[in-house]
Amino acid sequence: PTPVIIDCDPGHDDVFALWLAAGNPAIDLLGVTTVGGNGRLEHTTHNARVALTVAGVEGVPVAAGADKPLRRELTPATWIHGDNALGGPELPTPTVPLDERGAIKLIADLLESAAEPVTLIPTGPLTNIATLLEQRPGLGAKIAEIIWMGGSTGRGNVGAYPEFNAWVDPEAADLVVRSGLPLTMVGLNISHQALITSEVIESIAAIGNETSAFGVELLRFFCGTYDAVESMPEGPLHDPITVAIAINRAVATIQRSHIDVETTGEFTSGATAVDLHDMLGKEPNADIAITLDVPLFWQLIREAVAALR
């Protein structure tokens, strides 16, 4: 199996990314780290532990990282994820412990001790990953690739162009994009193909275990806020597309392109400028996920949820 570390800000869709990684046999989930994003760090860290507890996942260390972006204040996405970043279900007291090493030390330890290079999957702002690359540049050789949910080739969701994860910490995104490490960008352009239809919700409910029941409550809340905020009653389940790509790259079509992250634009701060048509003639620095195999994606989600508690 592919060794993976997920750096996340749960967040409804982050929870499904954790479950997909924990429930699919092609992935070896080495560790989970958290970042301030959808909610404040205390909430996202609590929620990551809740997600693993609900699914019965044991032995995967969870450590907390940055509570705010590198050079900005944090604006949590309460309008989509609620005040605790995981609105909807009643949250059980997590039994999964908190690893006191902190995110950067945990990731560094896991990379150092791994027998082969590890895939990093950030599904939130890139603050922790940027900090790791700055503090421990020598560990780049132990990173197989970074598969990030963030950015967009077109529309944004916190402005005309910026996507939330890139917009929260554009300086971190800029640093990661320019790191030279193999990078796949899973942006809004593909994540808006993973729509949570009523058929999807019914098929997950039909699995009939504790994880599916909790998941259905998450999906209903999430679709409710997407309906209220974006008039999208079928909300997009962004984050687990990253893990699906780590499981089976055929789940998405990919185009290699050059990306720049806008850090100063008056109207576009936090936007990813993705040069899909090679206007700039610059060396490509990322694989851009373009088209999702929607049935395969939901099949992977269902199989993982069914394999959990």
Residues that are catalytic? 238
Nearest CA to 151 out of 132, 120, 176, 128 is that of: 176
- Residue 161 CB, nearest approach to Ca ion (Å): 19
When the beta carbons of 94 and 151 are compared against ligand BDR, the nearer one is 151
Radius of gyration of the chain (CA): 17
Question: Of residues 175-204, which lie at the interface with Ca ion (CB under 5 A)?
Answer: none
Cα atoms found within 13 Å of the Cα of residue 104, Cβ hemisphere only? 14
Of these partners, ligand BDR, Ca ion, none, which one is at the site of residue 262 (CB under 5 to 8 Å by kind)? Answer: none
Distances (CA, A) of 209 to 183, 213, 222, 301, 308: 35, 6, 20, 14, 8
Q: Is 14 in the site for Ca ion (CB under 5 A)?
A: yes
Strand order in the sheet with 27-34: 62-64, 27-34, 2-8, 118-122, 143-149, 183-186, 286-292, 252-257
Which residues contribute to the site for ligand BDR (CB under 6 A)?
Answer: 11, 13-14, 38, 77, 80, 123-124, 149, 157, 163-165, 238-239
Q: Is 270 in the site for Ca ion (CB under 5 A)?
A: no
For residue 240, state whether it binds Ca ion (rule: CB under 5 A).
Answer: no
H or E stretch at 256: strand 252-257
Judged by beta carbon, residue 14 or residue 99, the one nearer ligand BDR is 14
Nearest-angstrom CA–CA distance, 215 and 211: 6
| Minimum gap (Å) between residue 220 Cβ and ligand BDR | 16
Instruction: Decide which of Ca ion, ligand BDR, none touches 157; Cβ closer than 5 to 8 Å per partner kind.
Output: ligand BDR
Cα 276 to Cα 114, 152, 163, 204, 267, distances in angstroms: 35, 11, 17, 35, 21
Give 89's Cβ-side CA count (13 Å radius). Answer: 21
Question: Which listed option, ligand BDR, Ca ion, none, makes contact with residue 77 (CB within 5 to 8 Å by class)?
Answer: ligand BDR
- Tell the smallest beta-carbon distance from residue 10 to Ca ion (Å): 7
Per CB under 5 A, 123 contacts Ca ion: yes
Question: Which range touches Ca ion (CB under 5 A), out of 116-124, 133-141, 200-208, 253-261?
Answer: 116-124
When binding is defined by CB under 5 A, the residue of 3, 11, 23, 76 that contacts Ca ion is 11
Q: Which is nearer to Ca ion, 140 or 159 (CB)?
A: 159
Q: Which residue lies nearer to ligand BDR by CB, 17 or 175?
A: 17
Residue 163 interacts with which of ligand BDR, Ca ion, none, CB < 5 to 8 Å by class: ligand BDR
Residue nearest to ligand BDR (CB): 164
Tokens of 29: 């989930």
In this structure, what are the phi and psi dihedrals at residue 248, rounded to the nearest 5 degrees?
-155, 105
Phi first, then psi, for residue 259 (nearest 5°) are -115, 140
Q: CB of residue 165 vs ligand BDR: minimum separation in angstroms?
A: 5
Q: How far, in whole angstroms, is CA 234 from its chain's centroid?
A: 19
Which chain residues interact with Ca ion by CB under 5 A?
A: 9, 11, 14, 123-124, 239
